[in-house]
Structure 1
C-alpha cells in the first residue's frame, strides 16, 4: 500500500516506513516544527467571539 506524504506530497510505501504518515525524517520534523512554533493552531472559542457557555452571545455573534 502507498500513501501520500502530508508535507511534501511524495508517494511512499506505507508498510515498513518508520516515519509514516510522512515520507522521511525531514518531513516529520518539519511538521513537528509547525506545531511547536504554533503555526498550526486550533482556534479558541474566545478568538472566534463565541462563548459556548452563553447562548445569547452565540445568537448575537451570528447577526
Structure 2
C-alpha cells in the first residue's frame, strides 16, 4: 500500500504556469490561468501573429527537377 493519507489525490499533471502571463494555470482553462488569457492566445493564432516556420526541402532543389512543369 501507499503511505498517503486517505482522501489525498495525486494530480495527473504537474502544475504549470500560464503561457500568456506566467500565473499558475487552472483546471477550467488549462494550460491558461483564465478565459481571458485563453482568448488572447486564440486571437494571436487566428490573426496570424503565431507562425510555424517552414523550410524548403533542399533535396528537391539539388536534383534539378521542378514540380511546376
| TM tier relative to shorter chain | 0.5 to 0.7
Alignment of 1:1-63 (within 5 A): 1-13=14-26, 17-45=27-55, 50-52=56-58, 54=60, 56=62
Instruction: Calculate the TM-score normalised by the size of structure 1.
Output: 0.63
Runs of 4+, deviation exceeding 3 Å: none
More helix by share: 1
Structure 2 residues without counterparts, runs of 5 or longer? 1-13, 64-69
Count matched residues. 50
TM-score of the superposition, structure 2-length normalised? 0.59
Larger radius of gyration: 2
Long gaps (5+) in structure 1: 58-63
Q: As a proportion of its length, which structure holds more strand?
A: 1
Structure with greater contact order relative to length (CA < 8 Å, sep ≥ 6):
1
